[in-house]
Structure formats: structure tokens, C-alpha cells
Amino acid sequence: MKKMKWLRSLALACLLGLLLVGTALAQSAEYRLNVNRNFGYGGGKQIKGLFTLSVVGGPADDAITKVTYLLDGQEMAVKEQSPFDFQFQTESYPYGLHRLGARVETASGKVVEVAPREYEFATAEQESQAVTGILGPIGLIVIILMVIGGGSTLWTLRHKEENQRLPLGASRSYGFKGGAICPRCGRVYPLPWWSFNLLTHVYAQCSFCGKWAAVVPLRSREALDAAEKAELALADSQPVLKNHDGEAEKREQLEDSRYVDEV
């Protein structure tokens, strides 16, 4: 018998608890304060610039007639006309932590205090510090990319002559990124691991002529073999340097000038 009574009181307590939680939720869901940035800076609780305060939510059958915006409980502005928004500059108020709130009055005569929201009105120094905090890592990445770019150019230039001695069509080794055909000199060069991937292309520097270009990477051994074989065609298209007979050339020039003189 005693146990039953205890169970009943527990059930009652649970029901009461649910009711309390329910009403609390209904209350907080009634009106909310919106803080929208129009211009300026907002990082977490820190804000600086031009912002608009507005009240949202509330029962549809009880129209808002007046909104008093509050800063740390002190009146900031009174709005008695729809849309009851209030625009303000954070610089118009002291820097530091503030509680933004609103008091709503409705047609039925209800007065409701909206749950306040805490913000830190930032100074110009705080804003620039926050911006530097964001830009710092970007700057570091840019520097790293520049070092990689510069370093790879030096590396390529140091090995250029050595590379150029590699006969056309000769087999060569490639890294895990494979190789590519240079659009300038037509030779197949290995793509270094630090070359930049651009979706379907790779931005890399030719190790034969030093040309930077976005090239299509060749990854399969078959494609690379075919590209190496294709280099042989370059031998035919390149101008053949003939050994000129110096004496003959001089004579030709002399004859040319004489011809011109006679005319």
C-alpha cells in the first residue's frame, strides 16, 4: 500500500515537472530579440558597426504595439510603429560587455521582457586584432607557396642543363604525380610532388625549358611511354644546324655587296 502511494506521488511530480518545463518553453518561444549586422564586424560575441535590433515571434492574435529596446536594462529606443526595428552604431555606446534586451507591449495590454543577449562592443583595435587573426594564417600560406614556387624554380634551373642532355625518347623515371608534356618544348617531364593541382590540370614547371604551365598529368606508364616516344618526332621538326663553311659564307657576302654596288 505504501509503495503505491509513493509511486503515485512520483508520477504527480513528473507531471508537474513536465508542465513547468512546458510553460517555460512556451514563454521563451514567445518573443526573441534578433541582432542583425548591417555593416561592420561580428566575431562570436564581439560586434562592431551598424546593427539592427528587432523582436520576432509571439502569439499571432496579440499584436505588438510598442517595443522598448534596452542596453543593460537602460532604455535605448522606443518604437511604437511597425516593424518596430531599431538601428544603432555600437560606437555610440561604451566599449565592453553589454546586455541587449527588449520590452514588448501588446494590444491586449501584456508587457513581456525578452530574454537578453550578451555582446561585447568591440574597439577598433579589437576588430583589427581579430582580422589579423584571420589574415595571419592566409599570409603564412601565401609565404609558404612563394617559398615552394621559388625553391622549385631554383631546383629546376639547377637541373635544366643536366636534363637537356637526356636524349629524345629516352626512358625516365617519374614521381607519384606522373609526368606531363611541356606545351613549349614538347618534352615529357616528371611532375614534382609540390606542383599545384588545379582540378583536371597540374600547374608545374618544365624541367627541360623552365616553362610554368597548367598541364594535363599523365599517370599511367603506357601514357608516359607513348609521350616519350612522341618526343622523337621533335628531332625532325627542330631546325638542323649545319656546319657552315666560314670561307664560303664570307665570299657570298662579298658577292652580294659587290652586286649592290654595281646597281
Residue 172 touching Zn ion (CB under 5 A): no
Applying CB under 5 A, among 50, 77, 168, 185 the residue interacting with Zn ion is 185
Q: Min. distance of Cβ 46 from Zn ion in angstroms? A: 52
**Binding segment for Zn ion among 113-121, 128-136, 201-209, 247-255 (CB under 5 A)?**
201-209
User: Are 100 and 115 a contacting pair, CB within 8 Å?
Assistant: no
Residue 211 touching Zn ion (CB under 5 A): yes
User: Are 28 and 115 a contacting pair, CB within 8 Å?
Assistant: yes
Residue with Cβ nearer Zn ion (37 or 160): 160
Question: Which CB contacts under 8 angstroms, 24+ apart, belong to 236-242?
Answer: none
**Binding segment for Zn ion among 2-10, 69-77, 130-138, 184-192 (CB under 5 A)?**
184-192
Residue 181 touching Zn ion (CB under 5 A): no
**Binding segment for Zn ion among 36-44, 50-58, 86-94, 177-185 (CB under 5 A)?**
177-185
Give first-to-last CA distance, the chain, whole Å. 140
Applying CB under 5 A, among 8, 158, 184, 229 the residue interacting with Zn ion is 184
Q: Min. distance of Cβ 204 from Zn ion in angstroms? A: 10
Upstream peptide bond of 217 is cis (omega within 30 degrees of 0) = no
Residue with Cβ nearer Zn ion (95 or 212): 212
Residue 208 touching Zn ion (CB under 5 A): yes
List residues near Zn ion by CB under 5 A. 182, 184-185, 206, 208-209, 211
